[in-house]
Structure 1
Amino acid sequence: MKINWGTGIVLAFVAFISFILYFVVRMSTDNSANHDLVTEEYYKQELAYQNEIDASKSALEMQAKLKFVKSKEGMTIFFPEKFAPEHITGTVSLYRPSNKHLDIDFPISLSKTHLLIPDNSLVDGRWDITVKWQYQGKTFLHKEKLVY
């Protein structure tokens, strides 16, 4: 059977369209290619972004830099020594970009100038850490990306 050039072009178009449709259907139904937003309440967080900018600016002005140290017990967050640890409150949010089921929030309750996050809570890999804390009515924010 001989195929003329017109039939060959039509078959090439049909094969190309079938190839593209296969990948569209596969990516739409495949659970490993999840295309959700990073957070469920994205727009609500976007409206509060100016508060984060102000809190980060306050941390820079007051020289309230946090220090992160990895040890075999876990990760230790050291708060500035000029602040009384009993008056520091807030939360530490650990965000795992590759798996939202590993995200963890820890409340800050200090008796010393450091907070230990246990090693069993942290899986090896990249973590985005957000520490939002208050001291005497002033809010501070520190964000850091770490590979644990």
Structure 2
Amino acid sequence: MVKTFTQKEYEFDLVSNQYYEDELAFQKTINNAENTEKLENKVEFVLLNNELKINIPNAKNELIIGEIHFYRPSNKKLDFIKKIASKNNVLTFTSEELVKGRWDVSVTWYYENEPQNQFFKKEQIYF
């Protein structure tokens, strides 16, 4: 004999009340990452001489528009976002901006003449 019980006082909470919108945003991020993989030249994260250089491919020398999110897992007070609006495809960050340790860095961007094609790259770095 097997008997099952249900607890009527148990509350079922969703992780997010906007789960549909969250799923669409997540799918967009996946699509943007797939677009990035199709690029002929790849995004590069280069650590050298106390600097982080992020190289975004820009073969047509177009205006790059987007954001770079710097997430510090050990201290959310250090998190910050840097806006991008430049033809310069090499973005440099120094020890004045980045404390030593682990950072999760994500770059989202598009080219001015192709706003429908968005790109995404995430990298874990140790500065």
Normalised-by-shorter TM-score class = 0.7 to 0.9
Identity of aligned residues (%): 34
Distance change (3 Å), C-alpha of 1:111 and 1:76: same
In the TM superposition, what is the alpha-carbon distance from 1:82 to its structure 2 partner?
1.3
| TM-score, normalised relative to structure 1 | 0.64
Out of 78, 89, 93, the position equivalent to 2:69 is 93
Larger Rg: 1
- Aligned pairs for 1:1-148 (under 5 A) are 45-72=22-49, 74-84=51-61, 86-135=62-111, 136-137=114-115, 138-148=117-127
Structure 1 moving runs of 4+ over 6 Å: none
The structure with more strand, counted as a fraction of residues: 2
| TM-score, normalised relative to structure 2 | 0.73
Residues paired across the two proteins, number: 108
RMSD between aligned residues:
2.4
Runs (5+) with no aligned partner, structure 2? 1-14
The structure with more helix, counted as a fraction of residues: 1
Counterpart-to-counterpart distance in 2, 1:45 and 1:125: 30
Runs (5+) with no aligned partner, structure 1? 1-36
Counterpart-to-counterpart distance in 2, 1:91 and 1:105: 7
Q: Which has the higher contact order (CA 8 A, sep 6+)?
A: 2
